[in-house]
Structure 1
Amino acid sequence: RDRGITHVLGIEARGFILGGAVATHLGAGFVPARKPGKLPWERVSQTYELEYGTDALECHRDGLPAGSRVLIVDDVLATGGTAEAAGRLAAGLGSEVVGWSFLLEIGALQGRTRLNGGSLLVLVSV
């Protein structure tokens, strides 16, 4: 709460459940980040690399007003590619990522090294 979070960006799909609860607790707005073509309305997209190709995340263009202070939430931090793409989505809309939150981190994959800006909260690291 002391970080002035205005919006929570939840990554598909478990990030919706976790992020929605966090947003409610913080009194912040909730914005879903989904696979391409799943959201109605005007969207922005960010691609990212996978071990076996590429993928993308989208959110509504009007979901994060410029100047928003964003917490990104998902269930697992592995390589960090999806979370990094979510951060680029937020930054591309003029928002500041002030934190990252995950239930589980797979430490050997060093995903945290790809996350720029803000603090990182992980409940369990393996």
Structure 2
Amino acid sequence: MNALIRSRIRTIPDFPKPGILFRDLTPLLADGQAFAATIDALARLADDFHLIAGIEARGFVFGAALAQKLGRGLLLLRKAGKLPGVTIGFDYGLEYGRDRLEVHRDDLPRGARILLVDDVLATGGTAEAAVRLLEAAGGEVTRALFVVELGDLGGGARLGVPYQSLVTF
């Protein structure tokens, strides 16, 4: 099954800058069978949790489909200023500057067990920020799931929670 998923991930050299191999998941999303296989594979890895948290933006796509399949709610982890209402946020550093993730304060019950979902695990900075944000908001991140992991970048070591990926490059 993961061979099907891998076969639908396109590698684009020198994007967004020279020397980068960009892993493009849009062909995977455009193939109904491969997309369904991806959600089924993620569902098999899910453990005991209350809510799914998806990281903006492609984490929303995979997180929403997984939440629907498993009958669970979905938390949206958004960039700063994108959510109306009262939010809690976490600032973090990137290789090119700083960023911020936010979640609605009222959407996360204290003590909720959270399954974090995103498309790609690279350096781990954004995923680590997501874990810290959810914990600061009173949740417990039990596991993180990714469609793709760029293994040579070592992002998993930053998370502090168990994680799994369907495909590793």
TM-score by length of 2: 0.71
Match of 1:33 among 74, 77, 82: 77
Q: Classify the secondary structure of the residue corresponding to 2:160.
A: coil
Deviation of the 1:22 alpha carbon: 1.1
| Alignment RMSD | 1.3
Name the structure 1 match of 2:136: 92
Match of 2:115 among 71, 80, 85: 71
Q: After the TM superposition, which parts of structure 1 deviate over 3 Å for at least 4 consecutive aligned residues?
A: none
Cα distance in 1 for partners of 2:93, 2:143 equals 22
Name the structure 1 match of 2:165: 122
Q: Classify the secondary structure of the residue corresponding to 2:79.
A: coil
Unaligned runs of 5+ in 1: none
Name the structure 1 match of 2:67: 23
Name the structure 1 match of 2:8: none
Cα distance in 2 for partners of 1:25, 1:6 equals 14
Deviations 1:102-122 (A, max 9, x none): 1111111100000112x3120
Letter in 1 for 2:154: Q
Letter in 2 for 1:49: G
Letter in 2 for 1:84: E
Cα distance in 1 for partners of 2:107, 2:117 equals 15
Q: Classify the secondary structure of the residue corresponding to 1:116.
A: coil
Larger Rg: 2
1:60 matches 2:73: no
Letter in 2 for 1:123: L
Query: Could you tell me the percent identity over the aligned residues?
Result: 50
Deviations 1:29-53 (A, max 9, x none): 1010011001111111101111111
Cα distance in 2 for partners of 1:103, 1:44 equals 27
TM-score by length of 1: 0.94
Deviation of the 1:3 alpha carbon: 3.0
Name the structure 1 match of 2:146: 102
Structure showing the higher helix proportion among its residues: 2
Cα distance in 1 for partners of 2:85, 2:61 equals 21
Cα distance in 2 for partners of 1:97, 1:67 equals 10
Letter in 1 for 2:126: T
Cα distance in 1 for partners of 2:118, 2:165 equals 10
Cα distance in 2 for partners of 1:93, 1:50 equals 22
1:83 matches 2:127: yes
Give the conservation status (yes or no) of the 8 Å contact 1:66–1:93.
yes
Give the conservation status (yes or no) of the 8 Å contact 1:79–1:111.
yes
